[in-house]
Structure 1
């Protein structure tokens, strides 16, 4: 319910009071019935009434017992009887704490069970206050020490948690007993907790169950700390039991322990799930919420009898809930040592499919679509057991597809959670590349079970060890089990070219970067940690060779299993194996130059054609050069591989020499003057390459020769296109040379170079789209596309590869973007046939791979009826189709429909889930018509947007997608003003947005006319 609705309801409640109106006359209070009361008497009666009310409330609060039947139907909207309380035996027998999770505690101070009512309003006040501290008060400074002290460490958590699914009062009850070991003498225990109301807290010695006197408890909301101060100092080496009963809100913010729902036959069904990475376990239970604080977890989940629960480990028994009729307690095996962010549990009514110890879970209607994930997941698990040379240590893996999930997926140990679109593949509904997407996401999360879960970074500064490795291995694993897909080439597009753009910003960050707040941690879950991490590991693999790299990774995992590590530990393991196998390399020296410095280099290669020498020099590649003369330029250890026209050896990817952290080096190089030279074979090194003018001319000549261009490896053809266009973008190469290189695509038929070319041209498309010469650009691109479009065709063949299928989509999407006549005809006819069919929700004969193109074209050329038809398909759409529809609804050229779409995305009753709102903003912002609408919308509605999401990472994504097309000076000024006034607290990501738009403005001023002149010249040449 939004603030306006809440205020309206409050005002309505005030107007509906039933007492008689009061009139005040001459110092007396007189009712309309004529009884006159003196002021002192009224005051006395009022005080007596208040005291009576308070006393009654306290008696009820402290002494009323929970009803034994505890029917949920009897729970009022604002109160919920505490359904369970953690209990330890404190009798004089001093029993040891049981190994089983059924820890019974009888508090001597409570002869009977106390009824502790949960006030939803009370919890919401806590939540609102903390949200205000973090989100709205930009003057608050983050404390320097927001890390927990190391005086005590958790060894075991015994967690009992029960969610309740009551409309307008979604809550959960928890009890946790934490076994602590003291490492430094202290009289304070400090731990994390957010949006939790503590109902009872006590501290006992583990050995004799002696109660420790607690002087006070305090909460530091900004740092999310709770501090328990005790009378006597805790002894080093002793163990204690911290026992807390608490309550919380089952939120709808997609983090912590949250609720989700779906429609089934017109009935809304609720589920409860978790998402704890990076720092949100503290929202579900009091804990030491840092990755180095590993512990064992013994979890009990209370759930309705008609539902099921899942957690990290296997269920070992069930019993009726001891407090709530109709509820069951599920008891789970004790876990291996793990970090809090990997703890997971879910309460759903989903069904499952299993294969050996591998299971997939989804709502009944879409469960058949989980079969592919089950099949490929079990294959990937077996491959990775061999790849890591370590058996998967848990007794099972569950994968669950969730209707609402903020991220694509999460690697919780033994319980992998996914968005439905990331786990479900349905033949005839999902596109070919959806299958690839499911496979790679599944591989990514399974890869984490070792790299991240078995061995965990000590702190988030080395997040890239988790995400970079899993990202790299997802390609390795899927390529191993689906060799025909040839995914290794896609790694270049996704994790090299795609990352260069972000890492070229001055506001990028080191790969290994320290963070000092939860918001900063969220901000590093970006392309740098994932894509750059993967690209550097790919580079290192080629430097060391597979045998050394794999052996070093295995040794690293085995030496650190169940513990924590830093990047230096991986470097040491790899160096040791390399030394054993007579490869002299200090991996730390090489790789620290890449992980501890921001950005990446451009390697400039200048050939001296007379002396047969070549000068290799490096500098950081940036979009905007802001380096002052006083700043020391970064230098990298650059592995240099190369080949020539005479050699044409594109297989030898190991470096032939190094730039060993120096600015330049001159090498004798006996290369024929007429031979082209290509550096960075198969683009294994994470750097760009620039050449002297003559070598660029030699490369351009061979590429534009349709009989010779295949002399160059397909990845290096893509590399040359990507480097040339981005060197021109920053002024390091003239655009004429770069566009002459790209023009070779007219006779290229391979996917990777074409995808690279279309991405590079896409930037020019965006920059020119509002200008008067956009027509010339469209003519040029259409001419480039003609041959490839003709060869790939519109019709889909059953036996074609996934690469061919995606190539067709990319080519036709580009052709349709410029209103290719064949595309228009196919789209209009196909969409009309579908929209006029008797049952469009069940029958759709448009080929799945091109549906997005057809839908978008129909909505772009159509009006309200076409848009409304697509919108009406959303409720019944399968996940893949829903994903597609959400994107194409932004294709309309009708402004009021785009505005309506944005409005809908911020309403809970619109059918658009919070997880999909960024997709809505992206879809609207992706056109020249929609971009200014979306930018105006966020400025007008920013406070509502902040209130609706409350997630800084989501806000950053929205700002990024709605501003990516801005390229005029006045737009940049408006953006700066908006950031300054409304969202300067968003941190590094919003600074990256500002820098990107600034670069767009500079590009337009510097290159607009150059591009127009070149386009007019080349179109004249082809008589267009």
Structure 2
């Protein structure tokens, strides 16, 4: 922080504005980098050309740029005259540097003139997975190597070059890179020229037009190309490491397919002449959508063509489809500010599911959307510590925290709701129109609404703005007020829903325009909805056709709307026996909302368990996954209660899963459908995780045979087999799994999830030593911590570790990185009791929580929810379990 003192030495408190001046706007950057791969530093040169929007003044007689962790900074004007900087002041707190020149140099400039500034500086190739950083890995021979890659989103371009580091400022970028000649150089655009000078290589890339700084990207290292084998009009390449070529082919091919799909869907060609996917061995996020140069962590990019699991195939496919969608949503059309982040992330989330549904219809993608994205959105949005999709403001330490289930999943769920409301044809046409108008520009949420409203003729702006500008979602409570032989009259009331069940009057002021895509017997299993009703008052009445014979209705057909429905208690008993009258989407959605309702005390836990037991004959993997997740949420709430109750919950879960698996025959056959394979995998995993003796013994036997011969197990059961070892193995098994982890092959992540889950103190201590020594990479720390916390003792161990090592954790994972939020959440959210809540709150009471305060608040809300649930429903659950 630059401080200014009076002549007498006293501090002159001068108000320094956080934001950069708006009287100029950068239009062109020429940025050059010379990498020192041994000292982990680089020399940089940046030439920025500005348009003068308003004249300089005596008070504003300087140029400022965002900078962070740059050193030896020097600067001079190139236009309107050549002149060295009179002074250079760094304001560290606000991550910016001020360049001041002689008064006459800038004061003479008029609106419309140009300014050009040259800055030279040094920078660090840090190990924090942000900015221009070093990514460490072991090659095939076990030798330590480094890649040098970029991760600029949200505000870390300033760690590589001085800039206006904000999404609303689009400019042209020309990148030049120098390194040792053996390294490969890659950037957003294709190479324009490449020369070898002695032992150095210099590459200049074509100009990247009209982009925000966070999307600029480049990398240097020992990359190996894997070309797409799918015919597409431009080159598509996955750049990987030696030895991983075979596992990189799928990503190259599927990227090409996704590019072609989106081009055809939106009638907008991808604008550049190549797309590269980069394997980053150390990477803080899952992937990053940089235009033409998408970066990925290993688990989101590589896929073994012969040994992958279903989950791995779906994960890699969805991430690739997401990042390719960003080439239109975020890159071609960019949000005007981080407050509208959802335009990027929800757009990419929704369309990635849409894209995967095109290529893999057998996945029943929209069922999985309900159990994945929709469920994640509800989980966070049902907490008081949630936030609106559109944020009124976004301070620097808040930006990384809003990359969460609201900006991704809730927004994606609202897009799915609109697709149902507007119809797919008008919805796609409206989105395409929006993309075309704002290509190469910045846009707001209102811009998207305007195009959807214009195409569909429906009041999109009026309706959807309420959903995106307000935090939370409603619960619709149904009262059955009158019934005849042919119809039923319902009274509907909407209120804010919180799992903590303590909504305050001031939090319950919003009336949502809810589109009720209701179902009756006549359209029970249809996918389209001619029956819909807009519910935009506090309460209303609705009369539905119904027969005494079937007596069926469902208010939120296919779980298309973003609200929770609370039926009368007697209606749940009927729905539990009306599975045949609902689609799988309906059933998955009903399970999810009942889970939320019993957590909030709106229905009894026994009512929910009764429905699950009644649906044990279901055959959809999505429905079973939702039921097993729901049972898991009950176990998590009772995690620190009496052992007998917890064991009964585990026994019920294991019994349900094992009996269904016995019925199906656990062995996977070539003739099994995709759904049947997925169901068997899910049931097998649940049976083992919950201690079923038969399937645990089978898994352990297979594992020890697997160590000698990897072909003894169907790869789809690989993860379950490893889980059984984690839950029941000894130190020799730990060492065997760790040995697999060190091979760095396709089993690395499952091995990591396994040896970090072993329970004995000796082995947990060993795992923490591996974290300290960074053998478990910092990018994967959240995996290790999550596994340690799967058992009671592990939850306390995590909390003690966090408290004891807090100072070092802050150094390793500074608040500006979202990794710290993950760590705080993982180490606190597993608690379930009020006394544990008090302990967590007390520890952080005197801490500076900027950068992770939202995660902490969400953990505390989660603990409160579980504590109230147990307090309220403890006797109800015990009574129900005693009857089974």
Question: CA–CA distance in 1 between the matches of 2:591 and 2:265?
Answer: 34
- Deviation of 1:146 after TM superposition, in Å, equals 3.1
In structure 1, C-alpha distance between the alignment counterparts of 2:362 and 2:690, rounded to whole Å = 33
Say whether the 8 Å CA contact 2:725–2:754 is kept in structure 1: no
The alignment status of 1:174 with 2:47, answered yes or no, reads: no
1:541-560 matches, cutoff 5 A: 541-560=419-438
Would the alpha carbon gap of residues 422 and 554 (structure 1) be closer, same or farther in structure 2, given more than 3 Å must change? Answer: same
Q: Deviations over 1:725-744 (max 9, x none)?
A: 22111111122322211212
Inter-CA distance 420–730: structure 2 relative to 1 (3 Å threshold): same
Q: What's the secondary structure of 1:701's corresponding residue?
A: coil
TM alignment of 1:604-1003, pairs within 5 A: 604-610=477-483, 612-630=488-506, 633-653=509-529, 656-660=532-536, 662-673=537-548, 675-702=551-578, 709-770=579-640, 771-772=642-643, 773-835=645-707, 837=708, 843=710, 845-878=712-745, 880-908=746-774, 911-951=775-815, 952-982=817-847, 984-985=849-850, 986-1003=852-869
Distance 1:184 1:164 in 2: 40
Cα deviation, 1:646-692, whole Å, max 9, x if unaligned, reads: 542532236611012x2111233343355121011111111111112
Secondary structure, aligned partner of 1:266: coil
Could you tell me whether the CA contact under 8 Å between 2:599 and 2:866 is conserved in 1?
no
Tell me what 1:468 maps to.
Answer: 346
Change (3 A) 1:609 1:162: same
1:453 aligns with 2:316: no
Deviation, structure 1 residue 212: 4.7
Mark the CA change 1:213 to 1:855 in structure 2 (over 3 Å): closer, same or farther: closer
Q: 1:193 and 2:67 equivalent?
A: yes
Larger Rg: 1
CA distance in 2 between partners of 1:993 and 1:476 (Å): 32
Q: Which runs of 5+ in 1 are unaligned?
A: 1-125, 131-140, 580-584, 703-708, 1020-1024
Say whether 1:369 aligns with 2:257: no
Secondary structure of the 1:203 match is strand
**Is the contact made by 1:902 and 1:921 (CA closer than 8 Å) also made in structure 2?**
no
CA-to-aligned-CA distance 1:342-366 (integer Å, 9 cap, x gap): 0000001111122341111100110
Deviation at 1:485, TM superposition (A): 2.6
Once residues 347 and 453 of structure 1 are traced to their aligned partners in structure 2, the CA distance between those partners, rounded to angstroms, is 23
Residue aligned with 1:991, SS: helix
Deviation at 1:954, TM superposition (A): 1.1
Residue deviations 1:34-75, cap 9 Å, x none? Answer: xxxxxxxxxxxxxxxxxxxxxxxxxxxxxxxxxxxxxxxxxx
Q: Partner residue of 1:23?
A: none
Pairwise CA distance, 1:1015 = 0.6
2:382–2:499 Cα contact (<8 Å) kept: yes
Q: TM-score, normalised by structure 1?
A: 0.81
> For 1:379 and 1:783, how far apart are their aligned partners in 2?
42
Question: Over aligned residue pairs, what C-alpha RMSD do you find?
Answer: 2.1
**In structure 1, C-alpha distance between the alignment counterparts of 2:200 and 2:875, rounded to whole Å:** 71
Partner of 1:1006: 872
- Give yes or no for contact 1:602–1:688 (8 Å, CA) kept in 2: yes
Match of 2:144 in 1: 268
Aligned match of 1:354 in 227, 246, 253?
A: 227
How far did residue 645 of structure 1 move? 2.9
Looking at structure 2, the residues matched to 937 and 859 of structure 1 have their Cα atoms a distance apart, in angstroms, of 21
Cα distance 1:547–1:214, how it changes in 2: closer, same or farther (>3 A)? same
Asked whether the 8 Å contact 1:605–1:615 carries over to 2, the reply is yes
Task: Find the residue that maps to 1:669 and give its secondary structure.
Answer: strand
> Out of 118, 129, 133, which is 1:254 matched to?
129
Instruction: State which drifts further: 710-719 or 649-658.
Output: 649-658
Aligned length: 853
Query: In the alignment, which residue of structure 2 is the partner of 1:396?
Result: 274
Residue 619 to residue 865, structure 1, CA distance change in 2 (3 Å): same
Change beyond 3 A, Cα 1:376–1:696: same
For residues 901-941 of structure 1, what are the alpha-carbon distances to aligned partners after superposition, in whole Å with 9 as ceiling and x for unaligned? Answer: 12321323xx2111101111011011223211111111111
Contact 1:508 1:598 in 2 (8 A): yes
Which is further off, 448-457 or 812-821? 812-821
Determine if contact 2:42/2:123 at 8 Å carries over to the other structure. yes
The answer for the alignment partner of 1:706 in structure 2 is: none
Q: Contact conserved, 1:809 with 1:850, CA < 8 A, in 2?
A: yes
Distance 1:142 1:484 in 2: 64
2:91 equivalent in structure 1 = 220
Q: Secondary structure at the match of 1:222?
A: helix
Corresponding residue for 1:150? 22
Whole-angstrom distance in 1 between the partners of 2:847 and 2:717? 40
Match of 1:239 in 2: 114
| Conservation of the 8 A alpha-carbon contact between 1:906 and 1:945 | no
Contact 2:188 2:216 in 1 (8 A): yes
Aligned counterparts of 2:308 and 2:380: Cα–Cα separation in 1 = 30
> SS in structure 2 opposite 1:976?
helix
TM-score by length of 2: 0.93
Q: Is the 8 A contact 1:499 1:531 kept in 2?
A: yes
Alignment partners' CA distance in 2, 1:747 and 1:485? 20
For 1:647 and 1:420, the matched residues in 2 are separated by: 45
Note closer, same or farther for the CA distance 1:956–1:1014 as it changes in structure 2 (3 Å cut): same
The equivalent residue for 2:9 is none
Q: How does 1:335-354 map to 2 (within 5 A)?
A: 335-354=208-227
User: What's 1:417 paired with?
Assistant: 295
| Cα distance in 2, alignment partners of residues 731 and 481 from structure 1 | 41
Q: Does 1:304 align with 2:180?
A: yes
Q: How far apart in 2 are the matches of 1:352 and 1:953?
A: 31
Cα distance in 2 for partners of 1:736, 1:994 equals 26
CA gap of 1:963–1:807, structure 2 versus 1, over 3 A, is farther
Residue in structure 2 matching 1:204, options 51, 54, 78 = 78
CA–CA distance in structure 2, aligned partners of residues 406 and 801 of structure 1: 36
Q: Give the whole-Å Cα distance in 2 for the aligned partners of 1:783 and 1:875.
A: 36
Note the alpha carbon deviations across 1:119-139, whole angstroms, 9 max, x for none: xxxxxxx9xx99xxxxxxxxx
**CA distance, structure 1, for counterparts of residue 699 and residue 574 of structure 2:** 42
Q: Map Cα deviations across residues 825-874 of structure 1 (whole Å, 9 max, x no partner).
A: 21221222234x3xx7xx46333222222122123222211112211222
Provide the C-alpha distance between the structure 2 equivalents of 1:903 and 1:147, rounded to a whole number of angstroms. 43
Q: Name which of 580, 599, 605 aligns with 2:472.
A: 599
Matched-pair contact (CA < 8 Å) for 1:515–1:521: no
Summarize the Cα distance change of 1:939–1:793 in structure 2 as closer, same or farther, 3 Å threshold.
Answer: farther
Shift of 1:899: 2.6
Match of 2:367 in 1: 489
1:931-959 alpha-carbon deviations (Å, 9 max, x no partner): 11111111111111111222542121112
Structure 1 residues 142 and 296: CA distance shift in structure 2, 3 A: farther
Deviations 1:224-248 (A, max 9, x none): 1112233132432110111001111
